[in-house]
């Protein structure tokens, strides 16, 4: 490319590859989080008007525990209904009845936060590489490209940072 040294181009490509990995990691973490929420309640239907879950065998899971501080609610089916159910082996191994947590996000949020922090770190590293290359670069075209990419990275960094802080604030409550 005219006005851009090979070294500058390679640094830009490396920084963009790090950013792409960070964005891919964000997408994968979000997909895994959504999938784990769907899998844990597959076949069960929540009825908000009565605050109960209904299993595929038409048994109800009632609220048995609630922690407003952590935002956790546990629903459980009667043990007698689950223990007599022909689908018990595929549903639960508990002799106390099938349970569903209303907020299954504790572990998933922790993992999502870990992935988000990793993505944040990759983007910061990519930005540092670009800043160093910005000071090393002589051409106006190269500097312009680096500044534009840096501005885009800063936008992503701010978004991820805000989400990390918001998640941390929720957990602190």
- Look at residue 2 and tell me if it is in a domain: no
Domain-ending residue, one of 51, 73, 103: 103
Per-residue pLDDT 10s for the chain (173 aa) are 566 788 888 999 999 999 999 989 888 877 776 776 666 677 888 887 888 899 999 999 999 988 766 667 889 999 999 999 998 888 888 899 998 886 644 545 666 778 888 999 999 999 999 999 999 988 888 899 999 999 999 999 999 888 888 777 766 65
Residue 62 and residue 30 share a domain: no
Q: What is the pTM of this model?
A: 0.59
- Look at residue 19 and tell me if it is in a domain: yes
Residue 78 and residue 25 share a domain: no
Q: Which domain holds residue 146?
A: 7-35+107-172
- Look at residue 1 and tell me if it is in a domain: no
Under a CB-based contact definition with an 8 Å cutoff, are residues 66 and 72 in contact? yes
Residue 113 and residue 99 share a domain: no
Q: What's the burial of 158, exposed, middle or buried (CB within 10 Å: 0-12/13-18/19+)?
A: exposed
């Amino acid at each position: 490319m005219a006005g851009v040294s090979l070294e500058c181009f390679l640094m830009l490509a490396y920084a963009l590859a790090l950013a792409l990995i960070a964005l891919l990691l964000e997408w994968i973490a979000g997909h895994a989080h959504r999938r784990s929420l769907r899998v844990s309640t597959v076949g069960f239907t929540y009825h908000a008007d009565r605050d109960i879950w209904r299993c595929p065998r038409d048994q109800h899971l009632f609220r048995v525990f609630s922690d407003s501080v952590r935002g956790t609610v546990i629903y459980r089916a009667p043990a007698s209904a689950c223990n007599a159910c022909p689908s018990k082996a595929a549903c639960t191994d508990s002799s106390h009845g099938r349970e569903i947590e209303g907020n299954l996000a504790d572990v998933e949020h922790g993992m999502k936060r870990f992935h988000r922090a990793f993505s944040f770190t990759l983007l910061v590293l990519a930005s540092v590489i670009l800043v160093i290359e910005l000071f090393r670069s002589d051409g106006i075209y190269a500097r312009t490209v680096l500044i534009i990419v840096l501005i885009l990275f800063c936008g992503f960094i701010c978004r991820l940072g805000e989400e990390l802080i918001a998640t941390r604030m929720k957990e602190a409550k």
